[in-house]
Structure 1
Amino acid sequence: MPKSLRTPAGDALSNLVLDLFRLNSLLLTAGDRLVARLGLTSARWQILGAIVHAERPQPVAWLARDLGANRQNVQRIVNDLHAEGLVAFEANPHHRRAQLVVLTDKGRHAFDAAMALQAPWVNGLSEGLPVKDLQTVHRIVADLRTKLESETKSQA
């Protein structure tokens, strides 16, 4: 096998990225199991969370941007959430066709129920992990995300 052209930092980041891919898959599976009895999936829960955490109602394209997700995929899931009465569409005063997505009371209850399940789960998962280490990993992941977002914008 030829010698790696990566720097030691590049090798370390490559190993981290591979573990993050595996972790993402495990997190999605765990999330699906956690909220299944609520009629949710990790993807639906994530979109409900994006709606909750947005400063104001947003169209699907903005939700997708905030999630770093494909607009068409988010639209499909929002349509499913709408069909189940978890979200509603409101007129957008700035754009006739891009309606705003808002939570219904049923959607708020579903999200709150998911978060009530998440708290003991994440507390158990974090047990024994030093808070300082978790904060360091968070900072590094956020820095990498910022770098990648900058690269994406400069290539567009």
Structure 2
Amino acid sequence: MRAIKRSPAGDAMTDLILDLFRVNNLTLTWGDRLVAPLGLTSARWQILGAIVGADRAQPVAWLARDLGANRQNVQRIVNDLAHEGLVTFELNPHHRRAHLVVLTDKGLKTYDAAIRLYAPKINSLVQGLPIEEIKTAGRLIKALRKKLEQEVSADA
């Protein structure tokens, strides 16, 4: 079978994507270890962060959309967080079945504790990395995400 030749930019993007896979896995492991003493995982911490960062209480489907995650996986994690008293469900005035996910006081305290652990670690991690390069990488990843979102939407 003959392979189709990639362009030089295609080769560079392939290398970047492979590195993104590796960085994603390492980031999740790093985050898991960081918040494990709080009874969290990276996934649970990420969902707590999405709740904190939202303008208002949202249903699970909206949280999943904002995170670019699978709704069923987010639902499972939110159920676990509710079981542990970190979130609760409130009635949604706009939808009978899609309850709103709300952080409890315990959830907010746990999230705040995670951020207190995170701040010194992230400050240490960025040592020696020029801020302009970090910002450039962020812009590139956002542009890649936008293109991938368009492609996925077109294929749906």
1:109 aligns with 2:109: yes
| Aligned residue identity for 2:34 | L
Q: Which residue of 2 aligns with 1:99?
A: 99
State the alpha-carbon separation in 1 of the partners of residues 112 and 145 from structure 2. Answer: 28
Q: Name the SS of the counterpart of 2:92 in structure 1.
A: coil
**Equivalences for residues 1-156 of structure 1 within 5 A:** 5-156=5-156
TM-score where L is the length of structure 2: 0.97
Structure 1 range deviating more: 3-12 or 66-75: 3-12
Cα root mean square deviation, aligned: 1.3
User: Structure 2 stretches of 5 or more lacking a match?
Assistant: none
Q: Name the SS of the counterpart of 1:101 in structure 2.
A: strand
Structure 1 range deviating more: 96-105 or 4-13: 4-13
Q: Name the SS of the counterpart of 2:89 in structure 1.
A: strand
What percent of counterpart residues are identical?
Answer: 67
Call closer, same or farther: CA 1:154–1:3 in 2, change over 3 Å: closer
User: Structure 1 stretches of 5 or more lacking a match?
Assistant: none
TM-score where L is the length of structure 1: 0.97
Equivalent pairs counted in the alignment come to 156
State the alpha-carbon separation in 2 of the partners of residues 71 and 109 from structure 1. Answer: 25
State the alpha-carbon separation in 1 of the partners of residues 4 and 136 from structure 2. Answer: 27
**Post-superposition shift, 1:153?**
1.8
The runs of 4+ residues in structure 1 deviating greater than 2 Å are none
